[in-house]
Amino acid sequence: MAVADAFDEQCDYLFKAVLIGDSGVGKSNLISRFAIDEFRFDSKPTIGVEFAYRNIKVRDKLIKAQIWDTAGQERFRAITSSYYRGALGAMLVYDITKRATFVNVSKWLHELREFGGEDMVVVLVGNKSDLGPSREVETEEGKGFAETEGLCFMETSALQNMNVDEAFLEMITKIHDIISQKSLETKMNGTALSVPGGKEIHIADEVTATKQVNCCS
Amino acid sequence: MVRKKVPDWLNSSLWSSSQSSPPSSAMANPFEPPPRAPSPAVVSPSEPSPPSVQDPPPTQRIEAPPSKDHANAFPSAHDVSRQAQLLAELSRKVVDMSELRSLACQGIPDAAGIRATVWKLLLGYLPPDRGLWSSELAKKRSQYKQFKEDILMNPSEITRKMYNSTNCDTDDANCERALLSRSEITQGEHPLSLGKTSVWNQFFQDTEIIDQIDRDVKRTHPDMHFFSGDSQFAKSNQDALKNVLIIFAKLNPGVRYVQGMNEILAPLFYVLKNDPDEENAAFAEADAFFCFVELLSGFRDNFVQQLDNSVVGIRATITRLSQLLREHDEELWRHLEVTSKVNPQFYAFRWITLLLTQEFNFADSLHIWDTLLSDPDGPQETLLRVCCAMLVLVRKRLLAGDFTSNLKLLQNYPTTNISHLLYVANKFRVQSV
């Protein structure tokens, strides 16, 4: 379903999303599983920020998902706050075998709400579901928390490639629907968002300029 | 350029070397002048295998001695003569530091443990006067041993010590057994005590940082046998890294441990541990600790969150890189930051905090570090010039790229000729009048 390496201008939408959560919960492996179908037992800690992308078809639209991966340690949060800018979605990850990483979910959520946009789609992800015997956080707990906070929820295993695509797809589809809804409302109000070629582009502000150069010049 | 002032917390009297021991140049020096070194006995531990083998396991490829040029496994005539010059410099009674710097700046050959000695000198861990080396090393190594005893001891040992000193004056023999059955630990020092000053409370706070260090040390250079895998050797090296980082974190409550410090310690420890001098190799952990402290004294501010928005923090450092680029290549700067909107934080944060250790292979990083450590302008100034050169070397691709492709390129920097990179970086030196 992924189109290998389409140019930005061939996509209908460009979405930015971020992955957050404590150090060692498997953020980088979730992203590499999603973007290049790879899992590493020996992945290095992420320092600062890294990013990956994948093109996906959602409801007949080609979407370029640009996913940002951030470092887990608290020290990096001040720096990473700027990474939330323009993000339409966030995946908040904890490790089902480490309760502390679940406890910290509320801290991360607090930060998301402080720095992220209003309509940001948030998916709570309990990763490492393949390690059932060492489970410290029950599925129901994760689900319950997500319901209370109005988040989507899923348990995944980047190792066994369980629910990884599903989690990302859910996030991307939700973003798409919100954007379409908004776009519709805008049109009804008379101000069209369309750019030449009839495409509608919704993107992170870092990318906006690039797109304008590509599409409008 | 003046070296940045060393901060107060790193000036702790704990490790400042008071140059107290009198020069005893007449005394026999256990550190024999290196001219003897290039005997067959002192080939560096990783037996130089011809790196031309096409398909080695990844670990071997990386741990093989760095070959300067892709094709040639043998050191060039230039390298040989630089090696001879370095050895001659190291064998002087008092090492001429500016001479050493200018030699080391061009890259240090891997043979004969030269790099280990040179780095120790460049970092100021060894004084230029060779006559002082043995006493200085002995002092530092015993100091480190003391740190280990004081800091790495776990609370049950501390409470046992307390218990021993208060209750066991008369009955030494029964102490251990008494503890096993039912030890009378004072109320405040019980593991379940909620007292803020309890050693256990401190212990639980530390546990978080120690867990983090443990996780990261296990993920240090996973592709190298030296650091990773199930061998006893790798395990003992991991333990050494862990000890150093824990002790550093405990002695520097203002900095603690920040992810990425393991990447900075790793090359230091690797180089010192591979010193063919057995005694030096045996004390690599202690020596690496002090070298790490010296190195971080110039970079520490980048790790401190409270300084992020100050003139010395990481953001300011990244801004200086951006200014340097603008100064030397305005067109590239404009395209990168204005047109394609690539915030330099997105790539330079890692470049700078990790001293480029994750951008290149291990051997190439060592080569870059030779220059970082030996440039008289100091490591950070030099690092910024190298980062600027990295941008300029890929300017064509950057100028043709958009946000996505530029960021991708800079977060996965291509393999490059390091000597050329350093040559370009050197051209960005502020021309002194």
Q: What is the residue extent of each domain of chain A?
A: 13-182
pLDDT value of position A209? 32
Nearest residue in A to B343, CA atom:
A206
Which of A18, A31, A50, A68 is best to mutate for the B interface (most B CBs within 10 A)? A50
The minimum CA-CA distance between B206 and chain A, rounded to whole Å, is 15
pLDDT value of position A158? 96
Would strands A121-127 and A89-95 be described as parallel, antiparallel, or unpaired?
Answer: parallel
Phi, psi of B344 (to 5 degrees): -60, -25
Instruction: Tell me how far apart the alpha carbons of residues A182 and A118 are, in angstroms, rounded to a whole number.
Output: 13
Shortest CA distance to A176 belongs to which of A200, A195, A206? A200
pLDDT bracket for residue A2 (50, 70, 90): very low
The minimum CA-CA distance between B140 and chain A, rounded to whole Å, is 31
Which of B214, B338, B402, B411 is best to mutate for the A interface (most A CBs within 10 A)? B402
Of A43, A79, A214, the CB nearest to B314: A79
pLDDT bracket for residue B324 (50, 70, 90): very high
pLDDT of residue A140 exceeding 60, the answer is yes
* CB B133 within 8 Å of CB B4: no
User: What is the SS3 assignment for A201?
Assistant: coil
CB contacts of A76 in chain B (<8 Å) are: 259
CB contacts of B260 in chain A (<8 Å) are: 45, 47
CB contacts of A51 in chain B (<8 Å) are: 346, 407-408, 411
Instruction: Tell me how far apart the alpha carbons of residues B411 and B354 are, in angstroms, rounded to a whole number.
Output: 13
Contact A43 B219 (CB under 8 A): yes
Q: What is the pTM of this model?
A: 0.76
Both tokens of B130, joined, read: 């060779």
Is the C-alpha dihedral spanning B87, B423, B54, B71 positive or negative?
A: negative
**Radius of gyration of the CA atoms of chain B, in A:** 24
CB contacts of A42 in chain B (<8 Å) are: 219, 222-223, 228
User: What is the enclosing helix (H) or strand (E) of A123?
Assistant: strand A121-127
Instruction: Tell me how far apart the alpha carbons of residues A180 and A174 are, in angstroms, rounded to a whole number.
Output: 10
Domains of chain B with bracketed CATH? 108-155+198-298 (1.10.8.270), 305-430 (1.10.472.80)
What is the distance of C-alpha A41 from the center of its chain?
22
Shortest CA distance to B261 belongs to which of B271, B275, B272, B247? B247
pLDDT value of position A127? 97
Nearest residue in A to B227, CA atom:
A42
Shortest CA distance to B382 belongs to which of B313, B324, B310? B324
* CB B76 within 8 Å of CB B105: no
Class of domain A13-182: alpha beta
Supply the mean pLDDT for chain B. 78
AA letter at B185:
I
Question: Model confidence over B180-211: pLDDT tens digits?
Answer: 334 444 555 555 555 555 565 666 667 888 98
CB contacts of B216 in chain A (<8 Å) are: 45
DSSP B1: -
Buried b or exposed e, range B107-124, using 16+ CB within 10 angstroms: bbbbbbbbbbbbbbbbbe
Instruction: Tell me how far apart the alpha carbons of residues B259 and B215 are, in angstroms, rounded to a whole number.
Output: 10
pLDDT value of position B232? 94
CB contacts of B340 in chain A (<8 Å) are: 209-210
